[in-house]
Amino acid sequence: MRDFSKLTLKADHENRPLWVCPDGRIYLEAQSPLYGPAYDFLVAIAEPVARPEFVHEYRITPHSLYAAVSVAISPEKIVSVLDKLSKVKLPEAVEDFVKGCTKNFGRAKLVLRQNRHYIESHEAGALRELLSHATIRGSRDDVKEDGVASEDEFAEGEVQAEAAANRAYLELEAELDEEDEDAAAEDPKAPTKKAAEKAQKTLSFRLRQGAAQEVKRIAAKDLEFPLQEEYDFRHDSVNATLPIDLRPSTRIRNYQEKSLSKMFGNGRARSGIIVLPCGAGKTLTAIVAAATVKRWTLVLCSNATAVAQWKNQFLLWTTLDSRRISLFTADVKDDLHDDCGILITTYHMVSFGGTRAAAGERLIQQVKTREWGLMLLDEVHVVPAATFRKVLALCNAHCKLGLTATLVREDNLITDLNFLIGPKLYEANWMDLTHAGHLANVQCVEIWCPMSGPFYREYLRNGGAGQALAPDVDDASSAARRRRLLYVLNPVKFRACEYLVHLHEARGDKTIVFSDDVYALLSYAKALERPAVYGATKEAERQAILASFRFNSAVNTVCLSKVGDVAIDLPEANVIVQVSSHFGSRRQEAQRLGRILRAKPNSDGTDGFNAVFYTLVSRDTDEMFYSTKRQQYLVDQGYTFKVVTDLPDRGPDSVLNTPEKELDLLNDVLTSHSLKEEEAEEKAIKDAANGGIDVTRRATIAATKLSGGEGRAYYEYDAPVTDASSSKKRHRLFKSRAAKKARTK
């Protein structure tokens, strides 16, 4: 419990939009006339935590401050603007935190010259602090042979190396000491010519090949000394220029411009991450960055389909000659352009450690030895941490731009991204983009489906709702799988899905039925008589199904497995019916919603919504808990979930309209223990990513975290579950428990 009652309100607090709390939390009133400028400022200096309709929550963290300072917002400015916008007197703790966290920012830089990394600083003390860490010291290359570091100074050191391994460090130590002494001896009020020269002098030391990443990580994490990465591309006289310009018809939107202005703030290119919702145009934003830097550009995608899409987008938005774009995938290995060009490939193609064919080997050597001007990293949230690190260690780029829709991962690479790529440069607000018409206005609906009696009985026998496994069920993992199938194929849920598919087809909508479980997906597709695309679907068949969904008005529904979460482009889709989801993954939920986020004209004009995201959840099962957890990210972006407890079904027209058919389905579920479809799916997803991009990482979460409705916003339609009429729809086990509880009260 946080008590902020001692904050001192300013007299004119009504005119100010922020509450700044001593623990670094900031609350923004979204109705304030100053919302626009306050939002722009906050998004630059703090992390958005939740942005529902009326009050947004942000938090100042060392990373967010690092990002702010790297886009040239000084600590003094952060403090003064916060104070100006705050309704309360700025807490001292906040001021101290800002100053403490930012004291080292911008003091040293990591720069690339002739394909080698250097740490540069104007301050001797900064380099000494960095070199005080044994690993950084050990990562230092010989400083004398490159001639870049001020050789005279380093050579003047009086300390003799006692051990060969320590030699370079000791020399630098001595030089840095001398530099400090000189500086202290000078009168700060009347700087001499020598002092002025010294102030301009850039000290640097060179790092061993491949050590830059680790040095950056240690500097940021252990020494709280983030190394800035900037590329002065306009004055790069070493690397060739790429003849790339935007087409005259290309117009970028204001949020795309804003994100780019953070990247190119001072005429140099800064490394970092741009976070834009799915469908908001990350690709074009990155293409504009490439057209600004105009140097060798390496684009890394999560799979081969995305590689082809990127090439098309470069040709669509720019005047670049297609011969300057090379692709590197399992099937295509274009040579790099002789002069200057763009290479589009996948993370896996670069990180692959096995034996390559001659063409692949030749290309990868070029990738490794080239000094890339810009590296564009697509979908940074889905790449496995090890692959990511390997790719970044292999390729040297002056500037790295990461792109993502959701800066959430179920592993801890998110904090690592701050030093592997750079700080978050910009994060757009989903709701602002929706209101401006750049994204579809999506209505999120959760439909609670009671379990049918026989299915629930089996669910409990197999260990559902905290029950012990029935004596004849001995294999816990098969039981878990069976439980999952039982709630996914719950006949009530099936009929709800059938109803929605028919409803939206009649309205001329384009509907995607999503199921993570392939067995369930195929069962739904077969019963609904609609096409399905999943991991094992052959490429030609997949293309044919997706093309007919997009362009044939007679094919308005497609069933998709998790292969559809990334790199399947279906801009026409405006309805999602999610029948099965992968545990509690917030990222996957956001990505799925992203499939229907492309801006579209109102299809029916109801309530201003032009897309619907239905999640069907079997009541009183584990799915309820997972669903809450999954929705958290979207709730934080301002989406509200309407809960519907009583959806009509197709009655006698349903394909599951008799108890006998339900029992047949139950029988199928109970006899289908095999995991082979799931294994085939995993393999196909990996193959699609050229062997190894894990898009299905499972979350390991404490059970307690699954149970709370923390921060969840929803409206319940129809009768609330606690009222007497709704208890009729409850499963009898819960009814008898509720009755027992009532009796004991």
Ligand X SMILES: Nc1ncnc2c1ncn2[C@@H]1O[C@H](COP(=O)(O)OP(=O)(O)OP(=O)(O)O)[C@@H](O)[C@H]1O
Which residues are at the interface with ligand X (CB under 6 A)? 251-253, 256, 276, 278-284, 405, 594, 598
Element at 345 (helix H, strand E): strand 342-346
| Residue 14 near residue 29, CB atoms below 8 Å | no
**Comparison of 449 and 685: residue with beta carbon closer to ligand X:** 685
Output the smallest distance, CB 325 to ligand X, in A: 17
Output the smallest distance, CB 313 to ligand X, in A: 7
**Comparison of 309 and 672: residue with beta carbon closer to ligand X:** 309
Q: How far apart are the first and last CA of the chain?
A: 30
**Comparison of 91 and 279: residue with beta carbon closer to ligand X:** 279
Output the smallest distance, CB 682 to ligand X, in A: 23
Output the smallest distance, CB 302 to ligand X, in A: 10
Output the smallest distance, CB 148 to ligand X, in A: 39
Cite the DSSP H helix spans in 282-334. 282-293, 304-317
Q: Which two tokens stand for residue 721?
A: 């579950």
**Comparison of 255 and 487: residue with beta carbon closer to ligand X:** 255
Q: How far is 449 from 722, CA to CA, in rounded Å?
A: 16
**Comparison of 255 and 519: residue with beta carbon closer to ligand X:** 255
Output the smallest distance, CB 306 to ligand X, in A: 8
Output the smallest distance, CB 282 to ligand X, in A: 4
**Three-state DSSP class for 242?**
coil
Cite the DSSP H helix spans in 151-253. 151-155, 167-185, 193-200, 212-221
**Comparison of 364 and 597: residue with beta carbon closer to ligand X:** 597
Whose tokens are 């990482």? That residue is 697
Q: 744, exposed or middle or buried, with CB in 10 Å at 0-12, 13-18, 19+?
A: exposed
Cite the DSSP H helix spans in 395-436. 413-420, 430-435
**Comparison of 343 and 405: residue with beta carbon closer to ligand X:** 405
Q: 637, exposed or middle or buried, with CB in 10 Å at 0-12, 13-18, 19+?
A: buried
**Three-state DSSP class for 102?**
helix
Element at 678 (helix H, strand E): helix 676-688
Output the smallest distance, CB 256 to ligand X, in A: 6
Output the smallest distance, CB 609 to ligand X, in A: 19
**Comparison of 336 and 376: residue with beta carbon closer to ligand X:** 376
Q: Which two tokens stand for residue 158?
A: 């009086």
* 254-263 helix and 282-293 helix, angle to the nearest 10 degrees: 40
Residues 6 or more apart in contact with residue 248 via CB below 8 angstroms: none
- By C-alpha distance, which of 196, 232, 222 is closest to 109? 232
Output the smallest distance, CB 405 to ligand X, in A: 5
Output the smallest distance, CB 546 to ligand X, in A: 15
Q: Which two tokens stand for residue 685?
A: 């997803």
Please list the residues that pair with 121 across neighbouring strands. 203
**Comparison of 283 and 418: residue with beta carbon closer to ligand X:** 283
**Three-state DSSP class for 47?**
strand
Residue nearest to ligand X (CB): 281
C-alpha dihedral sign at 561, 563, 564, 566: positive
Output the smallest distance, CB 373 to ligand X, in A: 21
**Comparison of 252 and 470: residue with beta carbon closer to ligand X:** 252
Output the smallest distance, CB 593 to ligand X, in A: 10
Whose tokens are 């801890």? That residue is 412
Output the smallest distance, CB 4 to ligand X, in A: 38
| Residue 595 near residue 564, CB atoms below 8 Å | yes
**Comparison of 172 and 284: residue with beta carbon closer to ligand X:** 284
**Concatenated DSSP letters for 566-604?**
SS---TT--EEEEEE--TT-HHHHHHHHHTT-B----SS
**Comparison of 282 and 483: residue with beta carbon closer to ligand X:** 282
Output the smallest distance, CB 508 to ligand X, in A: 21
| Residue 46 near residue 59, CB atoms below 8 Å | yes
Q: 486, exposed or middle or buried, with CB in 10 Å at 0-12, 13-18, 19+?
A: buried
**Comparison of 121 and 256: residue with beta carbon closer to ligand X:** 256
**Comparison of 575 and 665: residue with beta carbon closer to ligand X:** 575
- By C-alpha distance, which of 300, 382, 312 is closest to 563? 382
Element at 396 (helix H, strand E): strand 396-404
Residues 6 or more apart in contact with residue 120 via CB below 8 angstroms: 108, 109, 110, 111, 202, 203, 204
Q: How far is 694 from 141, CA to CA, in rounded Å?
A: 36
Q: How far is 343 from 334, CA to CA, in rounded Å?
A: 9
* 476-488 helix and 622-636 helix, angle to the nearest 10 degrees: 70
At residue 90, φ and ψ (nearest 5 deg) are: -60, 120
Output the smallest distance, CB 278 to ligand X, in A: 4
Output the smallest distance, CB 280 to ligand X, in A: 5
| Residue 578 near residue 514, CB atoms below 8 Å | yes
**Comparison of 408 and 522: residue with beta carbon closer to ligand X:** 408
Residues 6 or more apart in contact with residue 112 via CB below 8 angstroms: 118, 231, 371, 396, 397, 398
**Comparison of 204 and 283: residue with beta carbon closer to ligand X:** 283
Residues 6 or more apart in contact with residue 213 via CB below 8 angstroms: 389, 392, 393, 419, 420
**Comparison of 87 and 381: residue with beta carbon closer to ligand X:** 381
Q: Find the farthest-apart pair of alpha carbons in the chain and give their distance in angstroms, rounded.
A: 96
